[in-house]
Structure 1
Amino acid sequence: MSYELRDHTADVAVEATGDTLAALFAAVADGLTAASAESVPATGGDRFDVEVTAESREALLFDYLDRLIYERDVRLVLPADHRCAVVEPNEAAREGDSADPDAWRLAAGARGVPLDAVAAREIKAVTYSEMALERRGDGWYAYVVFDV
């Protein structure tokens, strides 16, 4: 799993890869963290969990990143050290999840680094502008633009 920050006109983009869809989502979230602060303390901050449900893979990624930005604003923390699990619609149905068998689901966790412990720049929002999320060979690829 890896990510790179890319310059984008008046914004910042994250280009990421992962062996699995879950690893890809975590890599994009790590890219969001890196776009927000040049350095993040290796320790400190409490872990928190988020769950997201959406109608498609792309919507799931968008809603997950949007939720991380929301958590930053509400908790006054920079989400870091991301962990994700993604459940595809057919997997949910096989596991007997009757809430919405057609929904994509994500269960994730992050370490909330207090904003006063980092020199963070504000990422205003995630955008659908130029978003890409696709399988490439044996892995996954994503490109996401953030409004700064």
Structure 2
Amino acid sequence: MEYELCDHTADIAVAATGDSLESTFAAVANGLAAASCDEDEIGRAGERFSVSVVAENREALLFDYLDELIYRRDVRGELPVDHRVDAIDEPDETSTGRNDDSGAVWQLEASARGVPLAGISAREIKAVTYSEMRLERTDDDWEAYVVFDV
């Protein structure tokens, strides 16, 4: 699992890879944290918290997961770091879960550690965008590219 921060006009992008969908989502989330703050400032402070997200498709799941992390940062005053995506459940033909009757539901279970913003110099990431978002399977890995509005 790895990520790279990429310059993007007035925004910032994260390109990430992983050997599974879960590790790729976690790599993008770790890229989001790195875009927010220098890793040396993070330290070991902060409690782990759980994140659960549902969405109508794989790309929406990634978007909603990252959006939830930004929301939690804004509401709780903590920068989510050390991301772990424990499970991504994708619908199958026998899935009966529905999201507003629009289709089968994708589900994500994850956790992160919340570092108090008061103790670090964090750049504000305003939002995740669908602009140029990519999430695709390669021969051996998954690749993601996500642009964040700063």
Change (3 A) 1:118 1:91: farther
CA distances 1:86-137 after superposition (whole Å, capped 9, x unpaired): 11112983xxxx5438111001100000001211000000000000000011
Q: Aligned residue pairs: how many?
A: 144
Q: Tell me if structure 1 keeps the 8 A contact 2:97–2:104.
A: no
> In 2, distance between residues paired with 1:92 and 1:108?
24
What residue number does 2:25 align with? 25
Indicate yes or no: 2:129 matched with 1:134: no
Cα distance in 2 for partners of 1:41, 1:3 equals: 17
**How far 1:42 moved relative to its partner?**
3.1
Mapped partners of 1:29, 1:47: distance in 2: 15
1:72 aligns with 2:73: yes
Give ranges in structure 2 of 5+ residues lacking alignment.
none
Distance 1:109 1:92 in 2: 28
User: Which amino acid is 2:35 matched to?
Assistant: A
TM-score by length of 1: 0.93
Residue-by-residue CA offset, 1:27-82 (whole Å, 9 max, x unaligned): 00000000000124231101111100001000000000000000000110000000
Counterpart of 2:45? 44
Structure 1 residue 116 and structure 2 residue 136: aligned?
no
Across the aligned residues of Structure 1 and Structure 2, the Cα RMSD in angstroms comes to: 1.5
| Structure 1 unaligned regions, length at least 5 | none
Following TM superposition, the consecutive aligned residue runs of length 4 or more in structure 1 with deviations greater than 2 angstroms are 39-42, 98-101
For 2:38, the aligned partner's letter is E
Code of the residue aligned with 1:15 in structure 2: it is A
